[in-house]
């Protein structure tokens, strides 16, 4: 039930601290400080990971690729399921196929899972519906614990997928001997902070709601970020398109001058995802290029980043956090932004036109 919320999506955005907490506690032990993969999943024997998913679940996979590669040094290939199944890439022994799906029923993702099994690869499924076909057919079930998600636009399922995959990346790093017990405990502790930081990010509701009337007038909106934030930029753009029907695109900030900067004018708002991380200065200089062409910028950052932000941007100041939890924290403002713009436009937030919650045909 929606309780006091106007829409399921609004409720599900607010459910995220609990959803992530439940999911993280399935993979992280606060007492021992250890990250654990379920029985049967031995990352020390995984040489390569192939992630396959659709839509928002694909973006969760994209985010996790950064962690599997940087922490565990396991190379990751990632494809959208509708391409993967027909691309039929050569398979290598030692590859773990991970499908990511809220419903566990998406036709293309399921077909990709079956194809990987036929090739003799071991398979794991990050799914929210634990009785789903993917949950049953994969060798290993990697559950998210978001609870039922009703809104067509995925919110808490997405952050739960990111949470589960982040914890698994720590488990993989440990199994591969890439981090010692102290580092594993530190990363575990940082991830377990995520629910509190997500709650803090939910407090940005008012400043974000205040941006909606102006954004609702836009015909196009661009999202930029670097590193994991480039993947979150894609998710932000998808969220806005699907519920507000505004054309939106996400780009890695460095790609700007290779084309998309031609779109910038006074009527094209640009959302910049800019935590004060190692890539911050580069994101700032990309932002300055946008500003020089008259593009109105909404700059989502933390307090430290706010002090170093280019003059003239609209600031949204998110809670300061470590890199490993930043995608979980920054997901909240972009979800709320899409939500309030859609509400402002009077759109049917929970049942957007032309979309189904679960795409069970090709
Ligand atoms: O159930 P799944 O996670 O497999 O669904 C995948 C996509 O259809 C889904 O994430 C879709 O992109 C959402 N509407 C995004 O909000």
Tens of pLDDT along 261-294? 989 999 999 999 999 999 999 999 999 999 998 8
pLDDT (0 to 100) of residue 42: 97
pLDDT score, position 139: 98
Ligand 1 and 82: CB distance under 6 A: no
Structure letter (DSSP) for residue 269: -
Q: Is 358 in the pocket of ligand 1 (CB under 6 A)?
A: yes
* Cα–Cα nearest to 316, from 329, 306, 327: 306
For ligand 1, mutation pick of 13, 55, 103 (most atoms within 8 Å of CB): 55
Mutation choice for ligand 1 from 59, 80, 106, 161, CB with most ligand atoms inside 8 A: 106
Ligand 1 centre distance from Cα of residue 163 (Å): 17
Would you please indicate which residues are annotated as catalytic (active-site) residues? 357
Write down the number of H helices and E strands in the chain: 15, 12
How many angstroms is it from 352 CA to the middle of ligand 1?
13
Tokens of 290: 């946008």
Q: How far is the CA of 154 from the centre of ligand 1 (A)?
A: 6
ipTM of the complex, rounded to two decimals: 0.98
Residue 251 CA to residue 232 CA, distance in Å, equals 9
> Does 243 sit in the ligand 1 pocket, CB within 6 Å?
no
Dist CA 93 CA 121 (whole Å): 7
* Alpha-carbon distance values, 183 to 31, 45, 337, 357 (Å): 15, 21, 35, 39
Taking the centre of ligand 1 as the mean of its atom positions, its distance from the CA of residue 44, in whole angstroms, is: 31
Which residues of the chain register pLDDT less than 70? Answer: none
Residue nearest atom 16 of ligand 1, based on CA coordinates: 153
3-state secondary structure of 223: strand
Buried residues in 91-130 as b, exposed as e (16+ CB within 10 A) = beeebbbbbbbbbbbbbbbbbbbbbbeebebbbbbbbbbe
Report how far residue 298's alpha carbon sits from residue 53's, in angstroms, rounded to the nearest whole number: 30
* SS3 of the chain: helix, strand, coil, percent, to 5: 50, 15, 35
Question: Is-contact 260 286, C-beta < 8 A?
Answer: no
How many CA atoms does the CB half-sphere of 76 hold within 13 Å?
A: 23
State if residue 109 touches ligand 1 by the CB under 6 angstroms criterion.
Answer: yes
Q: Is the CB–ligand 1 distance for residue 152 below 6 Å?
A: yes
φ, ψ of residue 303 to 5 degrees: the values are: -60, -45
Kindly give the distance from the C-alpha atom of residue 141 to the centroid of ligand 1, in angstroms, as a whole number: 19
Q: Is 56 in the pocket of ligand 1 (CB under 6 A)?
A: yes
């Amino acid at each position: 039930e929606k309780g006091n919320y106007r829409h399921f999506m609004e409720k599900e955005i607010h459910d995220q601290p609990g959803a992530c907490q439940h999911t993280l506690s399935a993979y992280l032990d606060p007492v021992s400080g250890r990250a654990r993969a379920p029985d049967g999943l031995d990352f020390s024997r995984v040489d390569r990971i192939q992630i396959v998913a659709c839509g928002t679940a694909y973006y969760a996979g994209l985010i996790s690729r950064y962690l599997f590669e940087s922490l565990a040094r396991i190379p990751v290939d990632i494809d959208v399921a509708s391409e993967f199944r027909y691309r039929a890439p050569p398979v290598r022994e030692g590859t773990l196929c991970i499908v990511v799906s809220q419903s566990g029923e998406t036709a293309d993702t399921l077909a990709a899972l079956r194809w990987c099994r036929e090739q003799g690869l071991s398979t794991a499924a990050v799914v929210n519906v634990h009785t789903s076909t993917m949950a049953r057919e994969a060798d290993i079930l990697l559950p998210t614990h978001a609870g039922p998600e009703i809104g067509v636009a995925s919110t808490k399922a997405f952050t739960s997928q990111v949470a589960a995959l982040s914890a698994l990346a720590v488990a993989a790093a440990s199994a591969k001997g890439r981090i010692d017990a102290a580092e594993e405990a530190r990363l575990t502790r940082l991830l377990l902070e995520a629910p509190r930081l997500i709650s803090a990010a939910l407090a940005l509701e008012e400043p974000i709601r205040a941006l909606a009337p102006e954004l609702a007038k836009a015909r196009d909106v661009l999202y930029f970020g670097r590193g994991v934030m480039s993947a979150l930029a894609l998710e932000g753009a998808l969220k806005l398109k699907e519920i507000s029907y505004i054309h939106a695109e996400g780009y890695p900030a460095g790609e700007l001058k290779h084309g998309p900067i031609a779109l910038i004018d006074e009527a094209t708002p640009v959302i910049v995802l800019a935590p004060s991380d190692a890539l911050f200065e580069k994101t700032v200089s990309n932002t300055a290029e946008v500003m020089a062409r008259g593009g109105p910028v909404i700059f989502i950052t933390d307090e430290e980043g706010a002090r170093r932000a280019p003059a003239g941007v609209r600031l949204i100041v998110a809670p300061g956090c470590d890199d490993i939890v930043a995608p979980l924290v920054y997901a909240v403002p972009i979800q709320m932004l899409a939500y309030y713009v859609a509400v402002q436009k009077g759109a049917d937030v929970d049942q957007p036109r032309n979309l189904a919650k679960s795409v069970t045909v090709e």
